[in-house]
Amino acid sequence: MNMEDITARRNEPWRDELRKSMPAKDRTNIARVVMPELDPAYRITCNEEVNQGLTEEQALLEAKRCLDCPEPLCMTGCPVGINIPTFIKHIEKGEFLQAASTLKETSALPAVCGRVCPQEKQCESQCFYLKKLKKQPVAIGYLERFAADYSREHGTGEVPACAPANGIKIAVVGSGPCGLSFAGDMVKYGYDVTVFEALHEIGGVLKYGIPEFRLPNKFVDVEIDTLRKMGVTFVTDCIVGKTITYDDLHEMGFKGVFVASGAGLPRFMNIPGENLIGIMSCNEYLTRVNLMGAARQDWDTPVLSGKNVAVIGGGNTAMDSVRTARRLGAERAMIIYRRSEEEMPARKEEVEHAKAEGVEFMTLHNPIEYLGDETGKVTTMRLQRMELGEPDESGRRSPVEIEGAIEDVPVDTVIVAVGVSPNPLIPNTIKELEISRRGTIVVNEETMQSCLPDLYAGGDIVRGGATVILAMGDGRRAAAAMHEQLSK
Amino acid sequence: MNKIVSKEFFSDKVVKLVIEAPLIAKARKAGHFVIVRVDDKGERVPLTIAGADIEKGTITLVVQTVGKSTVKLGNLNPGDYIADVVGPLGQATHIDKVGTVVCCGGGVGVAPLLPIVQAMKAAGNRVISVLAARSKDLIILEDEIRASSDEVIIMTDDGSYGTKGLVTEGVEQIIKREKVDQCVAIGPAVMMKFVSKLTAQYNIPTVVSLNAIMVDGTGMCGACRVTVGGKLRFVCIDGPEFDAHQVDFDELMMRLRSYKEVE
């Protein structure tokens, strides 16, 4: 989206009228809306979504706060380039379906982004309110979710318009947010898009990783269905590189391949006792619960989730894991993080939700060893107390051991959430690909094109570990670049 | 959805299933495995591929019906569908002409051993197979193994067939008799551990195919982690085959008990 376009839409008469309908001063005097949420005591007994979404009244009022800036800085913070003022002004006018259509112009997953995007680090961090008025930013994320939910519940089920089919076949490897975002744009350009997924469900991390209480699967399925209606074909249980090869894709007539195979290998800390029974990666824990239904009746997959659960790490996945553990009956659910809360990479909202749910935060602690019983089950976690030293390369103050400050904490389940390495399947099976030392696919950062001219890549297989929205942004950029190349 | 084409019981608890999976049949090599999910609420279970027919588009699985999911699988009949079969997964067996190869299979481990025996023979090796089980009725695929072996030794715990004794006794008898260049062992972890101990004494390079608990089977969950040569390895993507002399079998056996109480 270019500036001309943004200005043209802002200059439409209805927008002009709306801006004049209320003085800016009155708009800035409105307090930011508070997201209604389930009571903590109730929500830890179930898997229901914690954030309840804005009511129409709340959304209408919050939309009034947006000043409809001539140069909307918020848009510079959106990796998929949503026309933020346009969709918010549609809400202000009560045109909720048009608001949703605006979102869908550039985002294949608005109901997802409205829930899991770290807006405080993206669009909202650039908001005029925050930057210039030192006030709380417009709740862009809440409004996005409101519009997406409204259109799902009240819409006609109409799908975004697509260009006439051009018959050119495009393969997408992986059906997570990056692959879906790419698929959505390519099908709009008119391509014949097939998404290959290794697992038995479409959605990638949205299904196996992010828990129901933060992102209900049924909403993800609605967005996937929209893509299906637009013409995207989905193939599950098919691993590109194993079931079919890159060469097979060529034989099948695919002219472009987009690899969005995601984050793979879980990282462990390589400390003594880490392979004891009851210690697992966050990927394993969350996959068992979210994808495999381990906590649901009649589902076969079991999960070990005890009364004393320690989650190692301070990211969103750590928060998702520890909050899941509370819901599965942990009496003591702990976050073990080697730095202080200030350095935690998790969203503030997740940290606050976790605290409200009774999660204990043991910051400035680092596990150094696990001890088990005679059957091999973990019983004790040995922690080293830390203090903050000088800032490291990441700019965060690095944790330093306090000599002799060691304590033992009883545990029966430990979930290691200290990051992931890229999935090695594709890098291992396409020999010509250029792979970085970290195991990521090397691409041109603007076009997402790899050293193989018809192979593009994005998301965690390129970034090594990032957010849903950055992955989606990669998908959009790759689609634009591949479309340009194929249109030559 | 994958259709079951045929089903045959080798014994009470060991069943052979031939399943429609044309892409996997074409892509698989000796040593590969698949992940199977029996129905919509089922677990994802790793099973080694025992054979394939590219023309018919089928793969063969031999399943010991010991857990919830394998029992469910064993209860299906020809014409029924399995919700998901995905693969082939893991690294294929490294097949070379090395001279004399001893291939030993314990119990249902003979099934994944069969394609390796066939490939080793096809590569021009002298193949001596040692099949071991508790009793005669648990010895499976003997004819198929014989067809690709220069010699077959049968060992049973109760002496109801072949020689009475453990698999290791059969292997040691060969080692004492002639030069063995490589050993391949597939079976219960405890059997592989003792074969490995034995061949280590004689410095015979040995490969084992590990079974481990898995969820996704594509490197994502880390449930299948094992210690090999002091390093963290994942059975699903680094294996399932490893240098036997480097594997921490005691840890593997401990980890296999993770869900014993839950089951």
Predicted confidence band of residue A151 (pLDDT cuts 50, 70, 90): very high
What's the residue count for chain A? Answer: 488
Find the CB nearest B219 among A276, A301, A425.
Answer: A425
Least confident range from A241-250, A450-459, A462-471, B102-111: namely A462-471
State the average pLDDT over residues B142-159.
Answer: 95
State the average pLDDT over residues B191-217.
Answer: 95
Report yes or no: A26 at the B interface, CB cutoff 8 Å. no
Please give the mean pLDDT across all residues of chain B.
Answer: 94
Are A56 and A112 a contacting pair, CB within 8 Å? no
**DSSP strand pairing (B2-11 vs B14-20):** antiparallel
Chain B residue with minimum CA distance to A273: B251
Question: What is the maximum alpha-carbon separation in chain B?
Answer: 53
Question: Is A169-264+421-487 a CATH 3.50.50.60 domain?
Answer: yes
Q: What is the pLDDT of residue A59?
A: 97
Residues of B in contact with A236 (CB under 8 A): 84
Q: What percent of chain A has pLDDT over 90?
A: 85
Report yes or no: A371 at the B interface, CB cutoff 8 Å. no
Nearest to A357 by CA among A151, A214, A155, A195: A214
Using CB atoms and an 8 Å cut-off, which of residues 192-211 of chain B contact chain A?
none
CA–CA dist B200, A426 (Å, integer): 35
Q: What is the pLDDT of residue A75?
A: 95
Nearest to A195 by CA among A148, A158, A240, A252: A240
Instruction: Walk me through the domains of chain B, giving residue ranges and CATH numbers.
Output: 2-89 (2.40.30.10), 100-256 (3.40.50.80)
State the average pLDDT over residues A58-71.
Answer: 96
Is pLDDT at A196 greater than 80 in this prediction? yes
State the average pLDDT over residues A444-465.
Answer: 93
Report yes or no: B219 at the A interface, CB cutoff 8 Å. yes
Q: What is the pLDDT of residue B235?
A: 95
Determine, for residues B262 and A376 on separate chains, whether the beta-carbon distance falls below 8 Å: no
Q: What is the pLDDT of residue A424?
A: 81
Is pLDDT at B207 greater than 60 in this prediction? yes
State the average pLDDT over residues A65-80.
Answer: 94
Q: Which CATH class is domain A268-416?
A: alpha beta
CA–CA dist B9, B15 (Å, integer): 4
CA distance B190 to chain A (A): 16
| Element (DSSP H or E) covering residue B126 | strand B126-133
CA distance B212 to chain A (A): 13
State the average pLDDT over residues A103-116.
Answer: 91
Are B254 and A376 a contacting pair, CB within 8 Å? yes
Over residues B213-240, the pLDDT tens digits come to 999 999 999 999 999 999 999 999 999 9
Are A378 and A278 a contacting pair, CB within 8 Å? yes
CA–CA dist B200, B245 (Å, integer): 6
If one counts every other C-beta atom within 10 angstroms of the C-beta of residue A34, the result is: 10
Chain A residue with minimum CA distance to B69: A300
Q: What is the pLDDT of residue A305?
A: 87
Helix H, strand E, coil C: the string for chain A is CCHHHHHHHHCCHHHHHHHHCCCHHHHHCCCCCCCCECCHHHHCCCCCCCECCCCHHHHHHHHHHCCCCCCCHHHHCCCCCCCHHHHHHHHHCCCHHHHHHHHHHHCCCHHHHHHHCCCCCCHHHHCHHHHCCCCCCCCHHHHHHHHHHHHHHHCCCCCCCCCCCCCCEEEEECCCHHHHHHHHHHHHHCCEEEEECCCCCCCCHHHHCCCCCCCCHHHHHHHHHHHHHHCCEEECCCCECCCECHHHHHHCCEEEEEECCCEEEECCCCCCCCCCECEEEHHHHHHHHHHCCCCCCCCCCCCCCCCEEEEECCCHHHHHHHHHHHHCCCCEEEEEECCCHHHCCCCHHHHHHHHHCCCEEEECEEEEEEEECCCCEEEEEEEEEEEEEEECCCCCEEEEEEEEEEEEEECCEEEECCCEEECCHHHHHCCCCCECCCCCECCCCCCCECCCCCEEECCHHHHCCCCHHHHHHHHHHHHHHHHHHHHC
Determine, for residues B44 and A288 on separate chains, whether the beta-carbon distance falls below 8 Å: no
Is pLDDT at A159 greater than 90 in this prediction? no
State the average pLDDT over residues B116-126.
Answer: 96
Interior angle at CA B154, CA B153 and CA B157, nearest 5: 140
Q: What is the pLDDT of residue A441?
A: 93
Q: Which CATH class is domain A3-154?
A: mainly alpha
Predicted confidence band of residue A190 (pLDDT cuts 50, 70, 90): very high
Nearest to B258 by CA among A301, A34, A134: A301
Nearest to B38 by CA among B19, B13, B57, B58: B19
CA distance B110 to chain A (A): 24
Please give the mean pLDDT across all residues of chain A.
Answer: 94
Is pLDDT at B263 greater than 60 in this prediction? no
Predicted confidence band of residue B12 (pLDDT cuts 50, 70, 90): confident
**CA quadruple A426, A430, A431, A433: dihedral sign:** negative
- Alpha-carbon distances of A28 from A24, A348, A469, B249, rounded to whole Å: 6, 24, 28, 67
* Residue ranges covered by each domain of chain A: 3-154, 169-264+421-487, 268-416
Using CB atoms and an 8 Å cut-off, which of residues 141-200 of chain A contact chain B?
198-200
Nearest to A190 by CA among A234, A160, A216: A160
Q: What is the pLDDT of residue A422?
A: 83
Determine, for residues B220 and A425 on separate chains, whether the beta-carbon distance falls below 8 Å: no
Find the CB nearest A300 among B68, B87, B88.
Answer: B68
Determine, for residues A284 and B215 on separate chains, whether the beta-carbon distance falls below 8 Å: yes
Nearest to B88 by CA among B36, B39, B18, B144: B36
Determine, for residues A425 and B237 on separate chains, whether the beta-carbon distance falls below 8 Å: yes
Predicted confidence band of residue A1 (pLDDT cuts 50, 70, 90): low
Angle, in degrees to the nearest 10, between helices A217-230 and A177-189: 20
Same fold, A3-154 and A169-264+421-487: no
Q: What percent of chain B has pLDDT over 70?
A: 99
If one counts every other C-beta atom within 10 angstroms of the C-beta of residue A23, the result is: 10
Determine, for residues A237 and B84 on separate chains, whether the beta-carbon distance falls below 8 Å: yes
Over residues A334-377, the pLDDT tens digits come to 999 999 998 899 999 999 999 999 999 999 999 999 999 999 99
If one counts every other C-beta atom within 10 angstroms of the C-beta of residue A445, the result is: 10
Determine, for residues B219 and A299 on separate chains, whether the beta-carbon distance falls below 8 Å: no
